[in-house]
Amino acid sequence: MTLAGRLILDQVSLSVNPGEIVGLVGPNGAGKTSLFEVLCGRYQCDSGRVNLRGKDITRLPFIKRARIGLGRTYQSPVVPSALTVAETFRAARKARRPYMSRHDAEWAARLAHLQVPWDTPAAALGAFDRRKLILACLLMRRPVVLLMDEPASGLINAEIDELDVIIRRLVDEYGIGVILIEHRLELLSAVADHAVVLDLGQVIASGTPEQVFANTSVKQAYFETINV
Ligand SMILES: Nc1ncnc2c1ncn2[C@@H]1O[C@H](COP(=O)(O)OP(=O)(O)OP(=O)(O)O)[C@@H](O)[C@H]1O
Ligand SMILES: [Mg+2]
């Protein structure tokens, strides 16, 4: 895929199975978010295919991909600034036909561990509760695959542990396939079944987190550039 005349993603291939967490890692600018844009349909690739449950969705627009089960979260947890939690859920419930019920919202809030009063303005929520609210709105739609872009960003360690528990349950109990972008390798090994490393728009390693992190080119691309 090219952007502004530059090759951003080159021959990238990855897949996620139901009930599996794939960690996507790589230095800044490696192309991780751009890959999510291609998968969710906001960027078009010049060649190659995107499949969901065996169906070719390469030409489907963003909205239709969401309708058939592709969920996506963003690096920044942006919530509607003028709405309360309840109003945010109501808007999300009415975004789909047939409308989802309040019961669906309550179920999703429990699954996302969202435990705030529903009359709280969404803008007053802390980073983790914002992420939980966004996740709950997505879960109501019963996604098949969730693309999560740096969901641990801005969270403290205890919150990251809780996030791992939430994601693990989505995968183990509901069979959702999760692709998760994370900068910090040590966080990925705690939760991912499989890891894929991108550098300069190419996959440079793929395997279990342990295999990938022992790989010399990963160490060069990753450790030397961000110096963790
Ligand atoms: N809309 C755009 N137009 C032009 N170039 C872009 C655009 N979006 C991203 N890029 C470039 O594509 C490359 C990959 O960016 P991308 O945001 O996908 O990286 P990333 O791996 O998600 O990085 P980070 O870890 O910082 O989030 C970068 O060189 C970036 O400057
Ligand atoms: Mg990114």
CATH class given for the domain over 2-69+143-226: alpha beta
Residue 228's pLDDT band (cuts 50, 70, 90): very low
The rounded distance, in Å, linking the Cα atoms of 165 and 175 is: 14
List pLDDT tens digits, range 94-150: 988 888 999 999 999 999 999 999 999 999 999 999 999 999 999 999 999 999 999
Task: Quote the ligand 1 centre to 29 CA distance (angstroms).
Answer: 5
List phi, psi (to 5°) of 66: -65, -40
* Average pLDDT score over residue span 154-179: 96
| CA of residue 75 relative to chain centroid, distance | 9
Please tell me the number of the ligand nearest to residue 32's CA.
1
Pocket lining for ligand 1, CB < 6 angstroms: 3-4, 8, 26, 28-34
pLDDT at 193: 96
Nearest to 95 by CA among 87, 106, 107: 87
Please tell me the number of the ligand nearest to residue 35's CA.
1
List pLDDT tens digits, range 184-214: 777 888 899 999 999 999 999 999 999 988 8
> In testing the pocket of ligand 1, which one of 14, 32, 74 has its CB within 8 Å of the most ligand atoms?
32
The residues near 70 (Cβ < 8 Å, ≥ 6 apart) are 39, 40, 52, 57, 143, 144, 145, 147
CATH 3.40.50.300 location in the chain: 2-69+143-226
